Structure 1
């Protein structure tokens, strides 16, 4: 084990941990805005209660996402300084815009939304949550544009004197074909997570508090969340199909590794299960669906999909001696776990809708148990999706331009990286407990009472501006 190994583990752990909060924040921001819009248009207190209820869960998650996200950018300078020097001119641009525009937009308007209840006009207050939601989604786009450069570098040139990558076309970076398809795919996955949480909380209250006056609100939330999950699942499949074709074009080794395809095939079969040799050089046993991989990768059932061994020979000739294949079992199984967990969440959402057909109240304990684990499934799907994306690119940190081993900080020792890795892991473990307890506590508390206070003294002439700001919840 050396500093490179630990630096990779640290970045992987902190990034996956951070991304547990990101999709929920992205999805809930829009769903809360939709609920408040419904209240604004109808005046129905049900939607106001749900807005404040899920809005509280959104704010808890947003705060935790901000805290864990700050660490990501620090690591570029601490553990990956050679990478930062090489690509900072390009990678820094979208990240700077994300911080200066998108993040400030969302954080500013979230503040207005929190403290603007009964202070801002209803339309302006509604606009604040929509602005925050738009800022959240813009943040996702700029970050994905930066990551997409690592997958498919465009809009740059290599300075022969400094050896650094220099930005030549910022529009090309923002319109990278990988970014254009990764963004909707990521958003669909985010709504899958947010919809699942909405289902879980609503279903728990529907089944545990059947005689509550707010049962109607919970039933609506459960149905809305279920439909969000089903629609998001369909969009994940659609955008994933497009993403697979682009991946076959720009990163054929990743596609070959995802399918355990060792030799070039035309037509190529989709691997349901493949067992390879220990050295990852050949296939020993496989269960396959004919023609499917060719269609997924090229859009043509008879299309050609390159194999791992042929690509390895090609890259060794192009880039020099070395192993250019990722860790096949990790790439292969992370791709399948991503699909399996996402489909499982969609199946539970379908069962929840069926259990509430024609006004029925679900009673199955098994359904409740499935509902309680439901948010974990799309979170796992998102995590395995990112593991596949990043591990499938290896050994490149910037595909075709810089190897991961060349991006690590040369002056940082194994002890230093190991110390920071241990510290962050322990801190994140504590934060995970805090986040979980807060979400469970406020989810179990149920929707708030939004009845106006009838005891207000109308003769009180105290200047409202002199009253202290109060958190709306």
Structure 2
């Protein structure tokens, strides 16, 4: 039988490393384009203040980039360590985008980031600007291929299970690349990263104005951040709407759980603003709703129903029964590869094989499952409702707040009122943690809402885990959390030191002593130029 404690610890370990990793990714995405915009302004105007701004924000970008690389590598190792059967089962599909990301995107980004830091006095203005834009594009290409891989986990298109190899194999790589879910996730995720970068620059610039320091740089940075942030915040909401529509097409249970919608509502469904859960499973004890809104967002129509959790569970039970047929046919094929009747049966039912595998939680001989076990497997397709319900509302509320926030500051910037109100500057500085709160809530919705699937409808999470021991996971989980916490504290201290020192005429001049300079260099990606700087 499956040891669910081991599975849960494996999930916690991957979730912890992923959440830590994604503290750095959105800031990398946002700062990369903001740097490119500022340097473009420098090249076009020749004003040194824009060069100094690019250097300052670029130094913070470099420290954050290094931490993103360090935490991201461990995540990929975990596919082999903690999720070995996942790697075997879907590695032919999932591994391709990861390999392309490493070969095409990450190397592009890592190569040009070295030229960005150490090419200021070696390249022409236009040459260095090209390097900066390529660095930004490399960061976004990395996100694209990672999200293609993740999008396939949400909507596994372009692949089919091969009963001879016992693996999912690619049948249409173009369909994998242009997966509707992946494309929606990519544009939504990178837009959220742009908001994060804009808020970061805006908050630090507001702090400078409150302190009466670096005023010229702060004001110019705030103008760029307000414009870029407003456009990004608007796109996040619009593209989030698209993500909701796509999820309705491919992950109806996730939508129903996010809305605590236990029964199908008449079309068009209402959007729940607030709800109080009941003591028993079923409709919330109290809820406040906006008529029609959910139906319009998720179905783009006024006559299409959204199925509730109860109805979706009943449909899942039917798919579990079909999965039993597929599993039985698979066993016959493994016993006799020439059994054409079994292959025909399997081809008819293979799409429901994953639902049949849900029964492995309850018994080894899936083909002999009882009606009660089929019902329990169907109920397992329902994720925890209330964490998803509130995470979604936190994310959406912060998203609309940022539209208002950047709209107000865009107007104030156009009137030259950036430093006329200290309370407004304090509010701007206080918004600093909000992008990360919204982004982490969004990833909780995406990944926790997919449960119980590692790959939606194909591979249950508990079936994908490695056969590790309890203490293996306890020790490694404790080690990773402790190590990442220490690294996070070091990074925050280093960034605070750079911010406190303020913009400099040259990179790394923020360090006052040689040992501090070495610390800054050590925090950046290893490149041949680092040796020169260290010497």
What is the TM-score when the length of structure 1 is the normalising length? 0.92
CA distance in 1, matches of 2:127, 2:247: 43
- Assess, with a 3 A threshold, how the Cα gap between structure 1 residues 394 and 128 changes in structure 2: closer, same or farther: same
1:17 to 2:73 alignment: no
Matches within 5 A, 1:233-312: 233-265=233-265, 266-312=267-313
SS at match of 1:286: strand
Aligned to 2:139: 136
Residue of 61, 64, 69 corresponding to 2:64:
61
1:218 to 2:218 alignment: yes
Aligned to 1:86: 89
Q: CA deviation at 1:31?
A: 1.0
CA distance in 2, matches of 1:349, 1:296: 24
CA distance in 2, matches of 1:131, 1:354: 32
Tell me, yes or no, if the aligned pair for 1:355 and 1:362 is still in contact at 8 Å: no
Structure 1 unaligned segments of length 5 or more: list them: 452-467
CA distance in 1, matches of 2:22, 2:280: 32
Tell me, yes or no, if the aligned pair for 1:48 and 1:450 is still in contact at 8 Å: no
1:439 to 2:495 alignment: yes
SS at match of 1:359: coil
SS at match of 1:161: coil
Q: CA deviation at 1:131?
A: 1.2
CA distance in 2, matches of 1:317, 1:284: 30
Q: CA deviation at 1:187?
A: 1.1
CA distance in 1, matches of 2:413, 2:136: 30
Residue of 434, 438, 445 corresponding to 1:377:
434
Tell me, yes or no, if the aligned pair for 1:113 and 1:128 is still in contact at 8 Å: yes
Aligned to 1:95: 98
1:114 to 2:117 alignment: yes
CA distance in 2, matches of 1:246, 1:420: 36
- Residues 278-331 of structure 1 show CA distances to partners (whole Å, capped at 9, x for unaligned) of 453333221111111110110113431111110011012212521211000111
Q: CA deviation at 1:354?
A: 5.0
- State the aligned residue count: 451
SS at match of 1:140: helix
- Assess, with a 3 A threshold, how the Cα gap between structure 1 residues 152 and 368 changes in structure 2: closer, same or farther: same
Residue of 32, 35, 39 corresponding to 2:35:
32
Tell me, yes or no, if the aligned pair for 1:268 and 1:292 is still in contact at 8 Å: yes
Q: CA deviation at 1:361?
A: 4.8
- Residues 82-134 of structure 1 show CA distances to partners (whole Å, capped at 9, x for unaligned) of 11111100000000010111100100111112111111222222111111111
Comparing 430-439 and 186-195, the one that deviates more: 430-439
Aligned to 1:415: 471
What is the TM-score when the length of structure 2 is the normalising length? 0.81
Matches within 5 A, 1:174-193: 174-193=177-196
CA distance in 2, matches of 1:367, 1:319: 56
Tell me, yes or no, if the aligned pair for 1:341 and 1:377 is still in contact at 8 Å: yes
Aligned to 1:390: 447
- Assess, with a 3 A threshold, how the Cα gap between structure 1 residues 361 and 171 changes in structure 2: closer, same or farther: closer
Q: CA deviation at 1:37?
A: 1.2
CA distance in 1, matches of 2:403, 2:272: 23
Q: CA deviation at 1:10?
A: 1.1
RMSD over aligned Cα atoms:
1.8
CA distance in 1, matches of 2:33, 2:283: 47
CA distance in 2, matches of 1:60, 1:395: 36
Tell me, yes or no, if the aligned pair for 1:207 and 1:363 is still in contact at 8 Å: no
Comparing 166-175 and 61-70, the one that deviates more: 166-175
Q: CA deviation at 1:442?
A: 1.1
CA distance in 1, matches of 2:264, 2:154: 22
Aligned to 1:74: 77
Tell me, yes or no, if the aligned pair for 1:352 and 1:367 is still in contact at 8 Å: no
Structure 2 unaligned segments of length 5 or more: list them: 322-373, 508-530
- Assess, with a 3 A threshold, how the Cα gap between structure 1 residues 2 and 450 changes in structure 2: closer, same or farther: closer
Aligned to 1:315: 316
Tell me, yes or no, if the aligned pair for 1:280 and 1:328 is still in contact at 8 Å: no
Tell me, yes or no, if the aligned pair for 1:348 and 1:374 is still in contact at 8 Å: no
Tell me, yes or no, if the aligned pair for 2:237 and 2:400 is still in contact at 8 Å: no
Tell me, yes or no, if the aligned pair for 2:55 and 2:506 is still in contact at 8 Å: no
CA distance in 2, matches of 1:227, 1:251: 35
Q: CA deviation at 1:426?
A: 0.4
Aligned to 2:171: 168
Comparing 305-314 and 121-130, the one that deviates more: 121-130
- Residues 14-48 of structure 1 show CA distances to partners (whole Å, capped at 9, x for unaligned) of 10110010010011111101111111111011110
- Assess, with a 3 A threshold, how the Cα gap between structure 1 residues 450 and 5 changes in structure 2: closer, same or farther: closer
CA distance in 2, matches of 1:84, 1:124: 42
Matches within 5 A, 1:145-164: 145-164=148-167
Tell me, yes or no, if the aligned pair for 1:151 and 1:178 is still in contact at 8 Å: yes
Tell me, yes or no, if the aligned pair for 2:409 and 2:418 is still in contact at 8 Å: no
SS at match of 2:415: helix
